[in-house]
Amino acid sequence: MSSELGQMYDVFRSLLETSTPTEAVKQLEVLGVDQERIQRIREFHEQQLLSIKEMEEPRVAVYGNRETWYTGPRENDRAWPAIRSALEKSGWAPDAIKDLDASSTRVVSLLNHPKEPEFAARGLVVGYVQSGKTTNFTSVMAKAADRGYKLFIVLAGIHNGLRRQTQARLAQQLVKSNPTAWTQLTGLDQDFVPTENAASFFGGSNTTHVLCVVKKNALVLRKFARWLESASEYLQQAPALVIDDEADQASVATASINPLILRILETLPKAAYVGYTATPFANILIDPAAKDLYPSDFIVNLPQPKEHFGTEVLFGRYALDGEDPEDVDDGYDMIRSIPAEDVPLVTPVTKADVEGFTPEITDTLDQAIQYFWLTTAARRVRGTGNKHATMLIHTSMRIQVHNSFRAPLRRLRTHTLEHLDDPATLRRLRTLWDEETSRVPAEDFKLTKVPFESLLKELPGVLRDCRIIMDNSESEDTLDYDNGPVVAIAVGGNKFSRGLTLEGLAVTYFVRAASAYDTLLQMGRWFGFRHGYADLPRVWMTPELHASFRHLATVEADMRRDIDVYLHENETPQTFAVRLRTHPVLRVTAAAKMQSAIKASAAYGGRRIQTRYFHTRADWLRDNQKAARELVHLALDEAARHDAHPETGRHILHGITHTGVLDFLGRYRFHENSQECDAELISSYIRRRVQQGSLLRWNVAIVGNRAGAEDEANFTFAPDVTVGRITRARLHNLTGEPDFADIKTLMSRADAAVDLSDALRGWTEKEITDQRRKQLPDTGLIVLYPIDKDSRPSERREQFREPLGAEDHVIGVGLVFPETSNDSEVTWDGSYISADLSGIRLEDTDDEDLRTLEGEDAA
């Protein structure tokens, strides 16, 4: 279909949102579209309806490395435009809305088409702590609703506070703008209560979307599961989206909650389950072969929003493999140390010390509190940003300890207010303010420092307004941001350890220990947005905790780099497992959630990687041709053996030195979108393996077609090394970049064994790895592919592919690394764990694609 006809078809589809097909055709006629074009549009539309109905090929486009039915919102959508409009009115920046639109579209594009007869998708979305995950999944729900999803279930944590907060957000952003389009099964103050005649919500006469926000509580989930089961005959008409907020909490490896979630999903014939969390460690370690919640279909990173204070921003991190430590940010100077001798003064050392414990206002705690009052006064002078101001004191999970802080904090507030005219007090406050504002200049955040004299005028009012709150499961006086501006010092524990947002949080005093990554990260309520006071946040903690958070920032960066492989490469969570750095003291997650984890390779051992993205301009392509020819010339000089198979277009040069490969990697230019093909990272890995006595030798293979009699179809690497060019058509280019080609698949599984003796085309990936370990345990393989610049797709593949259209011939590269038992030592001095994918049986779709492509080449 031409682009002009495609635009007309889009008009026709938009008309169908409010018209019958006959009425839509008449409107096209009014617009002046001729009958021939109308007929072609109708025929194409009928083909699309048939495809969706029969589910022979429900995907209609390629979006972000995946064939999908959804590439973005339409003009006539209702739910998403309402959210976008509300965000615009609330002051969201256009770029932030654009990022939200793109990231939520990405998630919806990974869901199943709601008209599929049955589906059971499993996905995971990884955000940042306090970064707006709720807004993202609300947007995903809106876009799914606009396309026909019927039932929306949100599993909203384990506490009433978070469930209520989520219900309020969804009611405001989804329901309020289109109240007649939604039926709510839960309310602001009411979790799920079964109603009569559940089937009536899902029958054909009820056209509204059904929304249910429930706690992950066994009693509630059991009632909800039974209620759904009573309507089972009608659920075929109700494609469901299940959002699991804080998906690592209670959902994984629990005796009660996990089976109930699975029971609910099994009741729904058409269900997409999407977990949302900032700490996905437990989720990506689920046994992939079990019938569980492992995100087998997709894992995606949410982009870090601008101005978000995350782990790396505050604590810095260590360099990842292949990075120059000088290029890694050390974070802002916002962390203050609590000396070891202060810890037993603010939290009981043992359980026996809890009874009768009375905390002391140590020098560091006094500094933190006084600084909080100063920042609140400064923010009042500025008059911008969040209207609330909160300080968190988190030293223990025990309610008795929380309550013990009430009297000392009240005495300090009273004493400070009574002595604000004391010269010694003023000198101390001025010194504290000047020291802190010099260490983190306001100008770094495009703000202006508030003079001490200006904030001093506001300080009495701040002290009088400041509430001392013990916020825990037993307290009656809790944080409530709904009834005017709040100034509060909140003392708490587990209630503040996940999900809940502390509005206007500026200062945290934190000595609470934790033994696992996810627990510790979720306690970091200081992460988030600090509009109008980005220069002012501070965290007081022990040096040991500071080091732990710096390690966690490194773990996060490493993990997200792995997850991005799914976005850029031809990998899925069933073929590539995200790897997690371990720590000598901290656990990755609870022991019960790691039972299926295995020790993982930290780098490239046992893997084959390949180029799939290319620029199409001549200068870039010719540079790569030159690099490939230089490598082949070197290999001909150095090779111990040259196996030539001109009848199949194969040449294998055995035993060149690693320096030749490193020189090639320094000259060949990989496309910047290629996550796996990072020349610096690969070269660094090779050098470290060489230091261990491995990868000193490499084999170079050229894989093409049989050379033709006419040079027009051939590519010459060197004298006596000429092969026929292969065909690799590109996917339709939806990026808008003119100089871009994505061929998706370059290398067949069999090519990874091209240099092995007795290689069989039918070997599995594992068999090839095993054979490489036996035959060439320390030898790498580099494969060169000459690709014809005009590569055209076969007729049956034209729906998804188009001619390569490069200005010169393309050189594709595949690299195969032998497996090693000590890969973790190659990259850093720790180790990695991951999910165990060995129990998954998959068809090799790459080889299926390549059989078609190679058939075209032969023809």
Nearest to 455 by CA among 433, 470, 471: 433
CB atoms within 10 A of CB 291: 10
User: How high is the pLDDT of residue 525?
Assistant: 78
User: How high is the pLDDT of residue 510?
Assistant: 93
Asked if the model's pLDDT at residue 58 lies above 50, the reply is: no
Model pLDDT for residues 108-125, shown as the tens digit of each residue: 999 999 999 999 999 999
**Residues of 686-701 as b/e, b for ≥16 C-beta within 10 angstroms?**
bebbbeeebbbbbbbb
User: How high is the pLDDT of residue 59?
Assistant: 40
Nearest to 62 by CA among 729, 575, 675, 559: 729
Q: When comparing pLDDT for 709 and 357, which is higher? A: 357
Q: When comparing pLDDT for 323 and 497, which is higher? A: 323
Instruction: For the chain, give the percent of residues with pLDDT over 90.
Output: 58
Contacts of 724 (CB under 8 A, 6+ apart): 649, 704, 705, 706, 707, 708, 713, 714, 715, 857
d(CA 550, CA 588): 15
Nearest to 440 by CA among 507, 348, 345, 496: 507
Asked if the model's pLDDT at residue 55 lies above 50, the reply is: no
The angle that helices 363-382 and 406-418 make with each other, rounded to 10 degrees, is: 60
Asked if the model's pLDDT at residue 49 lies above 80, the reply is: no
Q: When comparing pLDDT for 504 and 854, which is higher? A: 504
Model pLDDT for residues 815-838, shown as the tens digit of each residue: 999 887 665 445 545 578 899 887
User: How high is the pLDDT of residue 737?
Assistant: 80
Average pLDDT of every residue of the chain: 88
The angle that helices 3-16 and 21-30 make with each other, rounded to 10 degrees, is: 130
Asked if the model's pLDDT at residue 322 lies above 80, the reply is: no
Sheet architecture: strand order including 608-610: 608-610, 810-816, 779-787, 697-703, 650-657, 641-645
Q: Which of 41-45, 86-90, 742-746 has the highest mean pLDDT?
A: 86-90
Model pLDDT for residues 332-377, shown as the tens digit of each residue: 999 999 999 999 999 998 888 889 899 999 999 999 999 999 999 9
Section 210-219 average pLDDT:
97
Model pLDDT for residues 162-202, shown as the tens digit of each residue: 899 899 999 999 999 899 999 999 999 999 999 999 999 99
User: How high is the pLDDT of residue 387?
Assistant: 93
Asked if the model's pLDDT at residue 239 lies above 90, the reply is: yes
User: How high is the pLDDT of residue 856?
Assistant: 42
Q: When comparing pLDDT for 377 and 402, which is higher? A: 377
When mean pLDDT is compared across 229-238, 494-503, 646-655, 762-771, the lowest value belongs to 494-503
d(CA 148, CA 168): 23
731, 800 contact by CB (below 8 A): yes
Helix (H) or strand (E) holding 700: strand 697-703
Section 596-605 average pLDDT:
77
Section 488-508 average pLDDT:
80
User: How high is the pLDDT of residue 318?
Assistant: 86
Helix (H) or strand (E) holding 273: strand 270-277
| Strands of 422-566, DSSP E | 467-470, 487-491, 505-510, 528-529, 538-541
User: How high is the pLDDT of residue 599?
Assistant: 81
Euclidean distance between the first and final Cα of the chain, in Å? 26
332, 313 contact by CB (below 8 A): yes
User: How high is the pLDDT of residue 56?
Assistant: 36
